[in-house]
Structure 1
Amino acid sequence: MKMSVFENSQLIQRLFREAVVKRETTMPCRLVAVSKTKPVSDIVEAYNAGIRHFGENYIQELHEKSNDPVIVEKCPDVKWHFIGHLQSNKSKLLSKVKNLYLMETVDSTKLCDKLNNESAFGENSADSKLKVLVQVNSSGESQKSGTSESQVLSLVDHIRTNCPNLQFKGLMTIGSYGHDYSTGENPDFECLLECRDRVLDHMSLKPEDLEVSFGMSNDYLHAIEMGSTNVRVGSCIFGSRQYAVN
């Protein structure tokens, strides 16, 4: 029998908590429900099951959902993540997202500068600064967004030096799909951890000072085991998507 979004959400949260307890690191991990193309009713159902962090890939859809009166009323503690590619000319729309928690896909100095100049972020979030992750194209695939591994440090330095309205929180990657874990750990996730270590050394920080976001529905349990602090789960909660939004 097909499970409801509420039941799926409860199951995934249980599996998530069990995986976090088992891993070696004591760093916290966050579950983000990817609700792209899904109706507001599904988000409310997942919220009622205990999920608080939700991720959207399309800026127009995120703006509409975050300002939806049903979401505003029934999901007061919702925390939104933008997890898609954002064109720099759409940065103003991102600043109008209610309860925006984290921008996960910063990948260029141009985008950083545009986001930094949007002074309205503090009006729609609890913080005056916009929290951002630098997206790394760890697989080197041309169709994927993200800065190259070699440019990570320079982009991080740019944010910290030239973007006082942004708060650098860590790194993220999507990586290639369908890795066979019987052959070993996902090399794209290992690449991100290596980038994290270089940033830590460069900034004289400790591992707990930076987030590393990787892992989705098909591999989030492996990602948690490897030390991810932020996993994005969509189809396991909401089911498969039948259409796309441009």
Structure 2
Amino acid sequence: MMKIMSEGVIDIAGNLRAIQAAIKETTARRANNGAEPTLVAVSKTKSVLMIKKAYDAGQRHFGENYVKELLVKAKDADLNHLCPDIKWHYIGMLQKNKIAQLIGCPRLYMVETISSFEVADSFEKKTKEGTSYQVMIQVNTSGEDSKSGILPSECANLAFHIVENCPKLKLRGVMTIGSFGHDYSSGPNPDFECLRNCREKVCERLKIPLDNIELSMGMSADFKEAVLAGSTNVRVGSQIFGSREK
């Protein structure tokens, strides 16, 4: 439950402690414990001050949905000075015409939304020699028209294409948003199962161990279920910072 201090101020540090404790406890309960998943704090629409409060509480990974907003925050002089090892994840839909701007983002740690062969090739082409970026493949596991991502059946082919033809892109994992509001009383989340299946096919195609490909799945409403399902990265926003502002 998100904590609110007096006068309506969000207790960001307290919220982070509660989420990290839940991640730790849930990791201990899953069949193959493994390492605790990375928590990516989704700071979309949130102020530099709120990001700084989360950073001061020990948070390092932050996710943004829009290139323009990410650049404003990542280039903020105060944030750069006070948060020197912040790690930005781009988690929004990636359009080819935005790639050149995204590449100019300071401390860009990972791009989680490579959703097509065209986007991968464009990213590779626009990246300067001697530079590389960690990326994930976004998979549309729910089949919804409103969701971005490659079809699950093409995920392994795209992974192979990136490894073989895009040396400046370092494939780290697969990611999904999935449909919202799954009823867990009816069984496991099919989006999580689909993404795990995609990882297996990617690893088979690339002939690498499963642990070499990460799973980015789970958000504020279902991050604990995602951890139980094997997620290595969870993206939590409202449970840390409160509801998104318009």
Q: TM-score, normalised by structure 1?
A: 0.93
8 Å Cα contact 1:121-1:130 kept in structure 2? no
Q: Deviations over 1:182-215 (max 9, x none)?
A: 1111001101111111111111111111101100
8 Å Cα contact 2:160-2:206 kept in structure 1? no
The 5 Å alignment of 1:41-190 reads 41-120=49-128, 128-190=131-193
Query: Shift in Å at residue 242 of structure 1?
Result: 2.7
- 2:205 alignment counterpart: 202
SS of aligned partner of 1:117: helix
- Assess, with a 3 A threshold, how the Cα gap between structure 1 residues 40 and 70 changes in structure 2: closer, same or farther: same
Q: Distance in 2 between matches of 1:81 and 1:118?
A: 19
Q: Distance in 2 between matches of 1:134 and 1:230?
A: 13
Query: Shift in Å at residue 118 of structure 1?
Result: 2.5
Q: Which range is displaced more, 149-158 or 139-148?
A: 149-158
Query: Shift in Å at residue 27 of structure 1?
Result: 4.1
- 1:125 alignment counterpart: none
Structure 2: tracts of 5 or more residues without a match: 6-10
Question: RMSD of the alignment, in Å?
Answer: 1.4
- 2:21 alignment counterpart: 14
The residue type paired with residue 177 of structure 1 is: F
Query: How many residue pairs align between the two structures?
Result: 238
Q: Aligned to 1:218, which of 216, 221, 235?
A: 221
Q: Deviations over 1:145-201 (max 9, x none)?
A: 000011112211211111111011111111100001111110011011111111111
- 2:8 alignment counterpart: none
8 Å Cα contact 2:24-2:36 kept in structure 1? no
Q: Distance in 2 between matches of 1:161 and 1:11?
A: 42
SS of aligned partner of 1:191: helix
8 Å Cα contact 1:95-1:121 kept in structure 2? no
Query: Shift in Å at residue 121 of structure 1?
Result: 8.8
The runs of at least 4 aligned residues of structure 1 exceeding 4 Å deviation read: none
Q: Distance in 1 between matches of 2:90 and 2:4?
A: 29
Q: Which range is displaced more, 203-212 or 224-233?
A: 203-212
Structure 1: tracts of 5 or more residues without a match: 123-127
8 Å Cα contact 1:92-1:118 kept in structure 2? yes
Q: Distance in 1 between matches of 2:150 and 2:78?
A: 37
Percent identity reads 47
The residue type paired with residue 103 of structure 1 is: V
